[in-house]
Amino acid sequence: MLPTTIENRNGIMFIDGVSSLDLAKRFDTPLYVVSEKRIRQNYRNVFSNLKQNYQKIRINYSAKANTNISVLKILESEGANLDVVSPGEAFLALKSGFSPERIIFTGTNARDDELKYLIESKVLINADSLSMLERILKIKTPDTISFRINPMIGAGHHEHCITAGKDSKFGIWEDDALAAYKRALDAGVKKFGIHMHIGSGIMNAQPFLLALEKLLEIAGKIRKTLGIKFDFIDIGGGIGVPYRLGEKEIDLAEFSNLILGAFNKGVKDNDLGEPFFCVEPGRYIICDSCVLLTAVNTVKENPNKKFIGVDAGFNVLVRPAMYGSYHHVLVANRMNAPEEQECDVAGPLCESGDLLAKNRKLPKIQEGDVLAVLNAGAYGFSMSSNYNSRQRPAEVLVNEGKCAIVRERETMDNLLLHQKTARWLK
């Protein structure tokens, strides 16, 4: 099922009321097209479903999915908080209008100067290790601190996206959790949170349930031993989305019933009071709001394979090459054309793995066609690069028939930025 913001008007794809062909002609390709309406719909869907089962809800949008300033401003206006994983993301959050108390940093292996910047910016820190805690305390004892706990239960759509369990680099082990909170308490920290993150792209509630029960058990032990009252309990992000047409979506009403049912029971059983319930959706909010438009420049075949050559490679969208991810592909200028051929959609990079789609059934493609790669909003532009010295694409925001450039396309001159020639080579 296509997002409600994508329409087929006489065979032409329209995105939130704007012709994809007009966008490609005006702004060139490759081009990320982001729907403001869809971002707002997705955010409100998460919030309203959770609010049905618990009043103190915080949605901490996972900024690493997409940090475009316009995207952040949209979510700020919706009342979201932000989860950031680097000082750069915190900087962008502040620049986009988020107040420091609405930003939580959940990075790993942070440097001392990065911690200093975050502390001076008054951003809440979610510490990932005892090492990080000690280095924070050397800079300044914060009023509030949280710790990311490894609940030993991980899940995700790819092994690189599983962020808990015995082999994970993330989080504090249960055996060290009590010591971490005691050290912070003794140092003068007054308010506390507790956090976990088990993985990304999870399509059912069961892994969250198992990990949440463990997290609440750990929180209960800390509460009983140290008398700490938790201001918030954060279950992290990872809610998955369907990338294939016809794939079943996660039922957010059911998710809310199951997770918050367990949360309410666990909070009561462990005497945890009335903490905020926090969740960190990134992919769910931004993924299907964005379409990547890419132009066909080459059609060729050998005895074994037909290749559709386009101007977007894994420098623009790395997920298919990095994770083997599926992204549905449509022909934006001929949406009514029947599927007639099996082919690979190949980018322009000098890499055999530069394929956006493999063995994909598509209409008969012609040079000059415009392909639309769906669900490109999460980890699309944010993971793009200048590999092969190619320039990053532009981003355009659309909203009910209007469009605006929200990131300029890089030029050749951008490739020289910050480069200097060694004095002996001049």
Neighbours of 323 (CB within 10 A): 15
pTM (two decimals) = 0.94
Task: Count H helices and E strands in the chain, helices first.
Answer: 11, 20
Contact between 372 and 332 under an 8 Å Cβ cutoff? The reply is yes
Q: Which of 278, 287, 350, 403 does the annotation list as catalytic?
A: 350
Pick the range with the lowest mean pLDDT from 185-189, 212-216, 288-292, 359-363. Answer: 212-216
- Res 164 pLDDT > 80: no
In sequence order, what DSSP letters do the residues of 150-179 get, joined into one string? --S----SSGGGB--STT-SSSB-HHHHHH
Among 303, 225, 210, smallest CA distance to 259 is for 210
**Which tokens in the block code for residue 218?**
């750990």
pLDDT number for residue 158:
44
- The whole-chain average pLDDT of the chain stands at 93
Phi first, then psi: give them for residue 70, nearest 5 degrees: -65, -40
Q: Are 363 and 338 in contact (CB under 8 A)?
A: yes
Q: How far apart are CA 204 and CA 151, in angstroms?
A: 18
Helix (H, G, I), strand (E, B) or coil at 315: coil
Q: Which residue is listed with tokens 């305390």?
A: 137
Confidence (pLDDT) at 210: 86
CA distance 396 to 60: 24
pLDDT in tens, 289-333: 999 999 999 999 998 899 999 999 999 999 999 999 999 999 999
pLDDT at 166: 56
Task: Give the pLDDT of residue 4.
Answer: 83
Q: Packing angle between helix 112-120 and helix 130-139, nearest 10 degrees? A: 60
Would you place residue 169 in the very low, low, confident or very high pLDDT band (cuts 50, 70, 90)?
A: low
- Give the pair of three-digit tokens for residue 374: 């769906």
What residue ranges define each of the domains in the chain, with the CATH number in brackets?
Answer: 6-35+287-416 (2.40.37.10), 36-285 (3.20.20.10)
Q: Which two tokens stand for residue 276?
A: 């905020």
Q: For residues 272 and 277, what is the distance between their CA atoms, to the nearest angstrom?
A: 12
pLDDT digits (tens, 9 = 90+) for 273-287: 999 999 999 999 999
pLDDT score, position 152:
64
> What tokens were used for 208?
């969250």
Note the pLDDT of residue 161: 40
What span, in angstroms and rounded, lies between the C-alpha atoms of 239 and 243? 13
Contacts of 43 (CB under 8 A, 6+ apart): 59, 61, 75, 78, 80, 285
pLDDT (0 to 100) of residue 57: 97
For residues 193 and 181, what is the distance between their CA atoms, to the nearest angstrom?
Answer: 10
DSSP string covering 108-137: SS--HHHHHHHHHTT-EEEE-SHHHHHHHH
* 355: pLDDT strictly greater than 60: yes
Length of the chain: 426
Compute the distance between CA of residue 209 and CA of residue 258 in angstroms, rounded to an integer.
8
Section 15-40 average pLDDT: 98
Q: What is the mean pLDDT of residues 38-61?
A: 97
Residue 320: cis peptide before it, omega within 30 degrees of 0 = no
Query: How many whole angstroms separate alpha carbon 261 and alpha carbon 266?
Result: 9
Lookup: tokens for 177:
């959790």
pLDDT confidence of residue 357: 97
Helical pair 206-226 and 174-187, crossing angle rounded to 10 deg = 40
- Can 350 be counted among the known catalytic residues? yes
Q: What is the pLDDT of residues 342-352, one digit of tens each?
A: 999 999 999 99
> 10: buried, middle or exposed (CB in 10 Å: 19+, 13-18, 0-12)?
exposed
